[in-house]
Amino acid sequence: MTQKRIISLILLLFLVTLQATSLNRLRILGIKPDLLLILVIFIGLYKGPISGAWYGFLAGILLDIFSSSPLGTNAISKTVLGSLAGMAAPFLYLEAPLIPGLLLFLGMFLEGILLFILLSSFYLAPPFSYSFLYIILPASLYTSLIAPFFFSVFKRIDHAF
């Protein structure tokens, strides 16, 4: 295993712990950013669809274990989004300053819709109008606003090793 992969896995484990525990302090109106999705999309964009899918699955399954979500819901959504990010990367100019925020808005939006569908199959999702207005849209905005900062941190970490 390469040093970059080890660092990526340590970062992933750190973010899973942060996402499942102390990130609750960053809630705004009950919404918290999804740092794991930022990492998964970053890996998909810069390492390709297979790496994005694998890291997405690992991040999602670990998050499912530490959350009250049905096992597999986050794993499915993050696997799909990591893979999609990797497939879209060749068509994007990744150095444009607004791209990380726009990609994360779109990614969070798609993940919100996907999670709504998955949770609805377990009869665990609130009505769509509520989910859209009070969960999906605010979480997409919040995560997209902090995405450029985390992308720059992840780039520095990636280039350092």
**Domain count across the chain:** 1
Which residue range forms the structural domain that includes residue 114? 3-160
Q: What is the percent of the chain where pLDDT is above 70?
A: 99
Question: Would the pLDDT of 132 be above 90?
Answer: yes
The answer on pLDDT for 1 being more than 70 is no
DSSP string computed for 119-149:
HHHTT-SPPHHHHIIIIIHHHHHHHHHHHHH
Q: What is the reported pTM?
A: 0.93
* pLDDT for position 25: 79
CATH of the domain at 12: 1.10.1760
What are the pLDDT digits (tens) for 140-161?
A: 999 999 999 999 999 999 888 7
Give the dihedral sign, CA 58/54/12/72: negative
CA dist., res. 112 & res. 75, Å (int): 13
- The pLDDT tens digits for 85-113 are 999 999 999 888 899 999 999 999 999 99
> Quick check: 37 pLDDT over 90?
yes
